[in-house]
Amino acid sequence: MSVAGATIGGMNATAADYRWLGDHCPDLVEAYCATLVHALSPEEAIGRLRARADGRVRGIGALVEAAARAWKESGGDRHFLGLCAVDGWTLMVEPNGYLGSLDEAAVPLSRGTELVAHFRNVNAVDHFSRYVDGELRLHFEPLFPHERDGADPDGAVALMREVGFDLSADSADVETTTEAAFALAERLTGVRLTAGLLDGAEFLTGSVPVF
């Protein structure tokens, strides 16, 4: 289940490194949740979520299509998930989803390990979170990065500035917050997501009831 050609990110990822998202994955970045969990396999993550495994699909385009079908079939009553292994982490992608941003999922997934998740919906509601061993260490809304909470709200401030977040309270820079969220996730995990990686990934799909 490892992704061929996965790239461990360096220490210099910025929002500019993820400009390709809007052109390559427009349907995904409009509404998504991306979660990275360290040292868990996709199967272990599915187990911790008590999810129903449904099958496998290859590539982000097929995953987005499968999510749309699942949404219609369930009437929105189930969270649809796609998981793949990337260099010691599991990447969980939810087109039009948000499960990874919830305590109910992030706490059990991060027990004994760490998790980074970022979410955005069609109304531009967004969240970025980091958990370590079930504890929320950092949380903020990418549109309002100056407002942070969690057990260590300021631990990633330098990284946030470096990737492209404007931390001033009166910031009007909202154009690249999604790209900056992807870059910050890379800085915190070392996992760089690329168009080639997402297109070549084999995703284990599953679903859980909406809480």
Number of domains in the chain: 1
Q: Name the 3-class secondary structure at 58.
A: strand
The per-residue pLDDT of the chain, averaged, comes to 93
CA-only gyration radius of the chain, Å: 16
**Pick from 109, 120, 139: which is nearest to 18 by CA?**
120
Whether 155 maps to a domain, the answer reads: yes
* 2 pLDDT higher than 70: no
Q: 4 pLDDT band (50/70/90 cuts)?
A: very low
pLDDT tens for residues 10-66?
A: 569 999 999 999 999 999 999 999 999 999 999 999 999 999 999 999 999 999 999
* 6 pLDDT higher than 70: no
Laid out side by side, the sheet with 114-120 consists of: 52-58, 202-209, 78-86, 89-95, 32-38, 114-120, 126-132, 135-141, 144-149
Compute the distance between CA of residue 80 and CA of residue 119 in angstroms, rounded to an integer: 14
Amino acid at 163: V
Whether 210 maps to a domain, the answer reads: no
pLDDT at 211: 82
Q: 128 lies in which domain range?
A: 7-202
Q: 9 pLDDT band (50/70/90 cuts)?
A: very low
Compute the distance between CA of residue 52 and CA of residue 205 in angstroms, rounded to an integer: 9
Whether 2 maps to a domain, the answer reads: no
Whether 185 maps to a domain, the answer reads: yes
Q: Name the 3-class secondary structure at 62.
A: helix
Whether 22 maps to a domain, the answer reads: yes
Whether 83 maps to a domain, the answer reads: yes
* 169 pLDDT higher than 50: yes
Whether 38 maps to a domain, the answer reads: yes
Whether 186 maps to a domain, the answer reads: yes
pLDDT tens for residues 74-102?
A: 999 999 999 999 999 999 999 999 999 99
